[in-house]
Each structure stands twice: as structure tokens, then as C-alpha cells.
Amino acid sequence: MSPAALLYDARDHYDKQSAKAYDNYQLISSSLPEAIEACIDAAGYEFDVSRQHTLLRAATYGLAFCSWLWQSISTRTLSRNVQNFTRSKCCS
């Protein structure tokens, strides 16, 4: 499994209050920044807003362990919000 998939899975386990969340984190700790970036990138290509939120929640979970990336992430997340707003106004 890729680091991004493990991060996504870790967030799912975290929501279920399962210890497997931390196990997955330990598996990807050395590549956590890449996993966070991959989740954010995937959210950018996703048109389903619900899935975007899930991917961004996974990235946010990773940021709890890697907070120095926050500035880059917050700027890109704002950009996603603008894209979603634009899509909703154009396509509705």
C-alpha cells in the first residue's frame, strides 16, 4: 500500500478509535510529508466534495504529526474551497 493510502486508512481507523491508526502512522512516519501531499493532490482531482473532505481529513490527520507543513497546506486548501465554490455556481 502507498503511504497516502495508509494515511487515508489511518484516519479511518482513528475515526473508529482503533489502535490500528497509530500502527499505520508508524509504517509511514518517514514518508509522512509525501503522504500528506498525495492526499491533498488527490483531493484536487476529485469532483465529489464528500470524497475531497475525506482526503483532506486524512491530510489533516497527518499534519498532527508534521505541523511544519501547515502553511503550504492551508493555502492549497483555500484554493480547493474556491474551486468547489466556482464549480457549484457554474454547474448548478
Question: What is the pLDDT, as a whole number, of residue 35?
Answer: 93
Residues 6 or more apart in contact with residue 88 via CB below 8 angstroms: none
Per-domain residue ranges for the chain?
3-90
Q: What is the pLDDT of residues 68-92, one digit of tens each?
A: 666 666 666 666 666 666 666 666 5
pLDDT at 63: 86
Residue 80: partners with Cβ closer than 8 Å, 6 or more residues away? 43, 44, 52, 56
pLDDT digits (tens, 9 = 90+) for 1-57: 899 999 999 999 999 999 999 999 999 999 998 999 899 889 888 889 899 899 989
49-63 vs 70-90: helix axis angle to the nearest 10? 170
Please choose, from the candidates 85, 74, 69, the residue with its C-alpha nearest in 3D space to the C-alpha of residue 33: 69
Q: pTM for this one?
A: 0.74
Considering only CA atoms, which of 15, 60, 52 is closest in space to residue 36? 60
